[in-house]
Amino acid sequence: MSARSPILIAGAAGLLGTAIADALVERGGRLVLADLHTEPLEALAQRLGADAVPLAEALDFRDEERVLRFVSSATSAVGHLAACVNAVGIEGPIVPTDQLDLDTVRDVYETNVFAAVSLVKAIVPGMRTRGEGRIINIASGAGLSGGEFMSAYHSSKHAMVGLTRSMARELAALGISVNAVCPGCIESPMLERIELALSELSDRWLASWRRSASASTPSALAASSRRCSSASNSRCRS
């Protein structure tokens, strides 16, 4: 793959997507950008310039038909897409698991998992025909561990890691490499929202837990806490 082979960045207007776009352009990359949010996408494309970004389009990657049309039009406009970086994602609800609203969970999976499947369905046929291609999925460290009050997000990132591993085995023989990047916490508006919600929720949860445990003796409460901690750590390691 040459430095000027077109690379699609999905979720380009986000913090990671923008950083990836900047790094690729610095190396002479030629990009096709797409993101749900029009204004930051247009600002990014304008800053990078038309030579580096021949095509940028606002797109909801949850809409499979639109994704198929977009990839088709992009291929017609700039030639074959040699690589794809999927940086689409949302944090979703931050609540105790037993209080989750299933519609919000579905929305997380539509964005964090099913959008990736739609993108793969659109881009892989062309790569298969050429016998080469690269797909990079931005997953998360959350896809390798659990996390309190964010079961929808963590489980969706586990799904992304599993999807990537499965695609890698399936497509390797066709000359298509598939990898996932699992970053840890990154200073961003998303992290700020998560930290704020977790701090508020944890304070409420802790106060509620203390009230419910008020009838227990200190020794029984300490023993219960140790058992819960040990069970939680065991599950995280498994």
Residues catalogued as catalytic = 153
What is the rounded distance in angstroms from the CA atom of residue 2 to the CA atom of residue 205? 53
3-state secondary structure of 30: strand
Structure tokens at 110: 């539509």
CB of 59 within 8 A of CB of 32? no
Residue 66 burial (10 A CB sphere; 0-12, 13-18, 19+)? middle
Q: Which residue has the tokens 């099913």?
A: 114
Which H/E stretch holds residue 86?
strand 83-86
* Alpha-carbon dihedral sign for residues 137, 143, 148, 149: positive
* CA–CA distances in Å: residue 96 to residues 180, 229, 231: 28, 17, 18
Termini Cα distance of the chain: 39
CB count, 10 Å around CB of 228? 10
Amino acid at 147: G
Bin 181: left if φ > 0, else alpha if -120 < ψ < 50, else beta: beta
